[in-house]
Chain A
Amino acid sequence: MSDAGAPPAAPAPGRSSHRTLRGRAELGVCAFLYLLAAVVLYDAASLGSDFTQRGPVGPAAVPTAVGILLIAVATLLTVDVLRGGRGAPEDSEDVDPDAPSDWRTLALLAGAFLTNVVLLDVAGWIISGALLFWGAAFALGSRHWIRDPLIAFAMSTGSYLLFSALGIWLPAGPFASGV
């Protein structure tokens, strides 16, 4: 089953040019799996399993098994990738399968998300959420300089009011005083 990811014969047109690159990139997945295995096994080893344990299976047993599974899978995957096996990228209606990775858009989008994580507790949801929406829409190519921020603020204010009407707390930020 190891070669099942991509058809060995007649690779799809438009993909062959990235082939070697993708081949190397997928080794990153193997590295990730090895790393994950190391983390899991290290954590398992640091558990004291002497107390309150009943029965032959202690708190470290399952993590150890998972770690071993990860190592095995990572090794098999490495072999598979080196032999030319490829995982087929997922298709989606909005994805252009032939396009190279657009790291700029990706970074902008992740940045918009992260901005919200950082700002949320400080600036409140109305500001932070609007930035998230606007930033994400901007990252994805929307360039309506008036409409976008307006929609963003409408969404964040609307959701804030709705949630607080329901009694679900969202950080108010600078608008907190009156509430």
Chain B
Amino acid sequence: MRTPPRLLTACAAVLVATTALTGCGPQGGPSAGGAPVSGLRIMVPNTPGGGYDITARSASRALEDSKLARNVEVFNLPGAGGTVGLGRTVSEKGNGKLLMSMGLGVVGASFTNKSKATLDQTTPIARLTEEPDVIVVPKGSKYDTIGELVKDWKADPGKVPVGGGSSPGGPDHLAPMLTAEAAGIEPKDVNYVPYDGGGELLAAVLGEQVSFGVSGASEFVDQIESGELRVLAVTSAEPVKGLDAPTLKEEGLDVDFVNWRGLVAPPGLDKAEQQELTDLVQELHDSKEWKDTLKTNRWTDAYLPGKEFGTFLGEETDRVDSVLTDLGLA
């Protein structure tokens, strides 16, 4: 039983925009060319409206519009930061028609939830996008640069609460922890206040409940544009186009953090099935429709196919493991 923010998670539960229904859309309709894959299902391990959900639904639409597949069904199986969905994926052994939309958050959640199912059991298909976190303060804040903020933060971490949109172990938790570490602050001393994604966090930052907020750049785009929020820094190694803010590296803090999203499939697929899925996602990535999707959502393309993605997954798992172990969470 959860609070209203939690009900976001609990109440919305499964919404399934079926192909049957999406087919009614303007560009839907049966496809003609090639041999489109049919009967594919994409699982979203969190609620509608979240990042994995938008990724999955956009991918499904792009697949259909580009006639690469038809009747792609997206369904939500939220719970425990994605570990419920992960568990289902791992148990669907040999199912070559299932993909799970996932990302860095699922890596963290599988640690904090001590999940029996782990990502290395799944078949990595591809990394699709990435997005840096941004460090923001409300327009009335006394901090104009990340340097000023870090100075106060270092002096008394407890008095400088930081708000993030994910529970401990999630991306918005990892980003400030890595930043603190780089600034010489003991991660354990960081006063991290978890908010239930998007809306609630934004309200807390705007209402100056927290000293600063850390979350995905897209969460704040409109408020940054309207001047309600000020970006002090981005966490990626490269500056973000369209955002007038330095990277943490430029400010002397050795942090390179991006949140990424991708697709994995159940374990136990044979070579052909595995190839079919990776090829499909490769074609998706090359399609014009997907490029448009990236643009409208302001996502950064971070395509990494099968094997390489698997290696990357391993590295990320180790990195998250070490941060969380420091904190006693893993």
A and B in direct contact, judged by CB atoms within 8 A = yes
Select B75's contact among A51, A52, A54, A169, beta carbons within 8 Å. A169
Question: With A51-B327, A51-B328 known to touch, is A165 a contact of B20 (CB < 8 Å)?
Answer: yes
Residues of A within 8 A of B21 (CB): 166-167
Query: What are the residues of chain B within 8 A of A48 when measuring CB–CB?
Result: 328
A52 to B16, CA, bound (A): 36
Q: Kindly state the separation between the CA atoms of A34 and B14 in the bound complex, as whole angstroms.
A: 37
A50–B20 touching, CB < 8 Å:
no
Q: From residue A107, how far is it (CB to closest CB) to chain B in Å?
A: 29
Interface of chain A: mostly helix, strand, loop or mixed: loop
Looking at the assembled complex, report how far the CB atom of B81 sits from the nearest CB atom of chain A, in whole angstroms.
15
Identify which of B18, B191, B329 contacts A54 (C-beta below 8 A). B191
In the bound complex, what is the Cα–Cα distance between A50 and B75 (angstroms)?
38
Task: Assign chain B's interface to a size class.
Answer: 10 to 19
Q: Which residues of A contact B188 (CB under 8 A)?
A: 51-52
Q: Among A52, A54, A166, A168, point to the contact of B328 (Cβ < 8 A).
A: A52
Min Cβ gap B79→A in Å is 16
Given A167-B73, A169-B75, do A52 and B17 touch, yes or no (CB 8 Å)?
no
Collect the chain A residues with CB atoms within 8 Å of residue B327's CB. 51-52
Interface residue ranges of B311-330 to A (CB < 8 Å): 327-329
Contact with B along A141-179 (1 / 0, CB 8 A): 000000000000000000000000111110000000000
Task: Say whether A52 contacts B20, CB under 8 Å.
Answer: no
In the complex the two chains form, what is the Cα distance from A54 to B75 in whole Å?
A: 37
Expressed in whole angstroms, the Cα–Cα distance for A51 and B192 within the complex equals: 12
- Closest residue of chain B to A51 (Cβ to Cβ) is B328
Q: Does B30 contact A (CB under 8 A)?
A: no
For residue B14, which residues in chain A have a CB less than 8 angstroms away from its CB? 168-169
Q: Say yes or no: A167 contacts B18, CB within 8 Å.
A: yes
Question: How near does chain B come to A65, taking the closest CB pair, in angstroms?
Answer: 17
B60 CB to closest chain A CB (Å) equals 12
Contact of A50 with B328 at beta-carbon distance under 8 Å, contacts A167-B21, A167-B73, A169-B75 already known: yes
Task: Report B's interface with A, CB cutoff 8 A.
Answer: 14, 16-21, 73, 75, 158, 168, 188, 191-192, 327-329
29 contacts between A and B (CB under 8 A): A48-B328, A50-B328, A51-B188, A51-B327, A51-B328, A51-B329, A52-B168, A52-B188, A52-B192, A52-B327, A52-B328, A52-B329, A54-B158, A54-B192, A165-B20, A166-B16, A166-B18, A166-B21, A167-B16, A167-B17, A167-B18, A167-B19, A167-B20, A167-B21, A167-B73, A168-B14, A169-B14, A169-B16, A169-B75
In the A-B complex, the 7 residue pairs with the smallest Cβ-Cβ separation, listed nearest first, are A167-B18, A51-B328, A167-B16, A54-B191, A52-B168, A168-B16, A52-B327
Known contacts A52-B188, A54-B158, then 6 further A-B pairs from the complex at CB < 8 Å, ordered by chain A residue: A51-B327, A51-B329, A52-B192, A166-B18, A167-B18, A167-B20
